[in-house]
Amino acid sequence: MLILSEQEIQRMYTMKDAISDVKEMLRQKQAGKVIAPDRTVLPFPNHDASILYMPSAEEGAAVVKVVSIFPHNPAAGRSTTQGIMVLTDAKTGEHRMVCNATYLTRLRTGALSAIAADYLATQAASRLAVIGTGAMAKEQVVGILAVRAIERIFLYNRTRKKAEDFAAGLHRLVREWTGKVYVVDEADEAVRQADIVVCSTRSEQPVFSGQMLRPGMHISAIGSYLPHMRELDVETIVKADRIVVDTLEGVKHEAGELIQAAESGRWSFSRINAEIGELVTGEKSGRQHEREITVFKSVGAAWYDLAVAIGVYYKALELGAGQEVEL
């Protein structure tokens, strides 16, 4: 069995790799070649935390990811999100790999936002707002930079120092990027100046006002994944001309923004235009004109983990990375 650490994965598996692998898995999913039972969420309300168990499989491989999300961990010097993946040969039942899933989870989520932005943001989009500069934000930025020529990034975080630290490390993260970074004091201020907005928080209240939206904007909400969470207000959902989701069944049960918008009576799930896989296969269209306001809502799905687990496994075999062990 191959063992891969986070550091090894970071050295060899890139955002470009993840975007390619996630797109291919979306095609397989649309073709009915992927199995993905409902994930199991174990809540730990005393710690404002949860542990998720996410299985998925295709013809040749199966993956189970276990990821824990404990938002108070940083105060004790621990990571908010920790995870592992187990990759199994679906033809022999042999367990082929155990790997760290923390970075891969961030990477596949960033890849998904990048794919959505490529179909839904205007081609001329050059200003990015990032609301929430926590663990998931770096790969969100890297993903958007992979599909659009961003010149300015506006950062907002409830704790300004965290946004400033994020800004200081941004050019080291993406060394070839030469744009400018600004830290702002209000989320609405960041949104007001942006063409693309990425929300990466676990907020239970909307993080910006839908009144800030302008024609042509694209909003990606990837942080909330439980019914009581919501990053977007009802106004944003109602104003959107086109809403695309990662999984229709998933958002009906887990996307607090959409659930509360439906409960308001001002919006219904029938107004969802497509799943992201339908855009990738061409079954449905992305942005139709320059003035559309588009929204991508993601709650996560196991087949994205399957995509990057298979991708990193074969990359490791190609490069001779990792450590083979007998269990």
List, by residue number, the catalytic residues: 65
The residue among 24, 69, 103 whose CA lies nearest residue 202 is 69
27 close to 279: Cβ distance less than 8 angstroms: no
How far lies 108's CA from each of 66, 72, 126, 305, 309, in Å?
Answer: 15, 23, 23, 7, 10
Q: How far, in Å, CA of 72 to CA of 309, rounded?
A: 28
CA angle (295 as vertex; 289, 299 as ends), nearest 5? 150
Q: How far, in Å, CA of 17 to CA of 177, rounded?
A: 19
Q: How far, in Å, CA of 237 to CA of 256, rounded?
A: 11
The residue among 141, 121, 117, 136 whose CA lies nearest residue 200 is 136
DSSP 212: G
- Class of residue 207 by CB neighbours under 10 A (exposed 0-12, middle 13-18, buried 19+): buried
Q: How far, in Å, CA of 281 to CA of 298, rounded?
A: 18
Q: How far, in Å, CA of 112 to CA of 296, rounded?
A: 10
DSSP 1: -
- Cross-strand pairs, 98: 3, 86
Q: How far, in Å, CA of 37 to CA of 51, rounded?
A: 16
Torsion of CA 187, 191, 194, 200, to 10 degrees: 60
62: tokens are 């199966």
